[in-house]
Amino acid sequence: MYIVVLGAPGAGKGTQAVAIAREMEMAHIASGDLFRQAVERGDELGVRVKGYMASGALVPDEITIKMIMQRVAAADCDNGVILDGFPRNLQQAEALDADLKKKNKKIDRVLYIDVPEEELVRRLIGRRVCRDCQKPHCNSNSQKKPEGKCRYCGGELYQRPDDNAETVAKRLKVYFAETMPLIEYYRRQGKLAEVDGQGSVEDITEKMLDAIGSGIIKK
């Protein structure tokens, strides 16, 4: 199966994508991870990606899709793939579908984690990120900072400069403007399952697994 996990910043899509991949023994592919790995390798593609990231520009769709398709071709993807963070807009989704079709593949299910905007703002303002592995640590109470070290690697936690109320509001506005057409695109294809993103991580994971198995919208 090829599954896409969608969700606004703060919705927990990264956490859930990892959990679903683990439960279903599938490969987890995050576009952000691919960018960082390419830069670390320092090959031709990595140099191009680094240039875009250094200038603050978005990596062009053609490069991102090329990286994803190369990753999908790896042996550990034979059991299926969870795509996390891509596609981000309608144009990327159409391009991805076209590329997958050439290889007789397709997106089977799209899981959209639905969280109210006010809750997303609270989570993002309270979020801290590990300096080493870049994994997020969220707390719905923005006044309470996550304590201790990264639960994944033990690294130092810090607050990203753009995790403030004003910038978060702008980021969410851009996200919803770009993503609503994408959600409708997959809904028309009959592939979209909306999952209530409020509750414990374990409860949300269970709802997402149910949605994958049944295709029934979970709210």
Could you list the active site residues? 13, 88, 127, 160, 171
Question: Mapping DSSP to helix (H, G, I), strand (E, B) and coil, where does residue 116 land?
Answer: coil
Q: What separation in angstroms does the CA of 135 have from each of 7, 85, 154, 203?
A: 16, 14, 11, 21
Give dist(CA 128, CA 118) in Å, integer.
18
**Four-residue CA torsion sign, 92, 68, 75, 14:** negative
Q: What separation in angstroms does the CA of 27 have from each of 57, 67, 137?
A: 28, 15, 22
Give dist(CA 196, CA 219) in Å, integer.
5
Give dist(CA 113, CA 37) in Å, integer.
26
Helix 165-188, helix 90-102: angle, nearest 10: 40
